[in-house]
Amino acid sequence: MRNVSGKDRRNSYNINIETPEKQRYTKTLEIISRYPHKRILDVGCAGMPGETDILSGNWLHGFIVSQFPESEVIGIDINKEAVEILKERGYNVELMDAENFNFEKKFDVIVAAELIEHLNNPGTFMSSCARNLKDGGVLIISTPYPFNLDYFMSNHFKKGGFEPGRGHTAWFCPKTLGELAKRYGFKMKEVHFVEYNYQPEKYTSLRSFVYHKLLKSFIRFIGFSKLFRGGFISVLQLKE
């Protein structure tokens, strides 16, 4: 999608994109639609500095705003520059820390996409979410899945081992995330895995070519595509 500029262009966002994030975005929006969503909070709405182009169509917060025009959608982020740009373009965003935020009115839905693995203290984040959700409200968290085959192969065969994503401080699986959530009054309602099909721009060795081009195709052919689960989306409901 072409970059947009000028004043508020929220209606230019749609889900007709072809990127690795498409499956995650689509599933997140579908989940939101199935729960009460009069007030929605998007934590970490600007994404990673330097990675997410908030003027492009490939941006989850833009999709949430455009897909739920009757909802009050608020975003928070610690990136001051991004927050200022978004405010100039008409978005309802605030400069706040994901690990310590407070609002006078509570939310029906809180979304935290690809965020929890970057935090200093996931527990204080969960506490803030519980404090700002209505009873029975839902927290939707997406995060990388550590048992992906690409991660395993990289850890065992790449010199120096696996290099986690930039700024990652922790890995979660559904069980560990569910245990953390339970300590703050949440219960796991749903888990959805998202498949990432990583392919290098060029093959740096024969081993790389055999793995990415041949072995991965064979694994998919015999029906084990679940080995390429690169992330998951959890729906956590605050106990009433």
Beta bridge partners of 110: 41, 139
Q: Band the pLDDT of 173: cuts 50, 70, 90.
A: very high
Alpha-carbon distance of 87 to 82, in angstroms, equals: 9
pLDDT of residue 9: 38
Q: Band the pLDDT of 56: cuts 50, 70, 90.
A: low
Name which residue leads in pLDDT, 18 or 92. Answer: 92
Cβ pair 3, 56 in contact under 8 A: yes
**Four-CA torsion 33, 79, 17, 24, nearest 10 degrees:** -50
Cβ pair 97, 118 in contact under 8 A: no
Q: Band the pLDDT of 165: cuts 50, 70, 90.
A: low
| Segment (H or E) for 197 | none
pLDDT of residue 6: 31
pLDDT at 4 over 70: no
Q: What does pTM read for this prediction?
A: 0.84
Alpha-carbon distance of 185 to 181, in angstroms, equals: 7
Residue type present at position 144: P
- List strands edge to edge, sheet with 39-43: 93-95, 72-77, 39-43, 107-113, 133-144, 229-238, 186-195
pLDDT of residue 51: 47
Q: How many CA atoms lie within 13 A of 231 on its CB side?
A: 23
Alpha-carbon distance of 140 to 150, in angstroms, equals: 25
Q: Please state the domain extents for the chain.
A: 10-148+168-201+229-238
Homologous superfamily in CATH for domain 10-148+168-201+229-238: Vaccinia Virus protein VP39 (3.40.50.150)
Q: Give tens-digit pLDDT for 76-109.
A: 999 999 899 889 989 999 999 999 999 999 999 9
Beta strands in 183-228 (DSSP E): 186-195
As a whole-number percent, the residues of the chain with pLDDT over 90 amount to 52
Name which residue leads in pLDDT, 55 or 110. Answer: 110
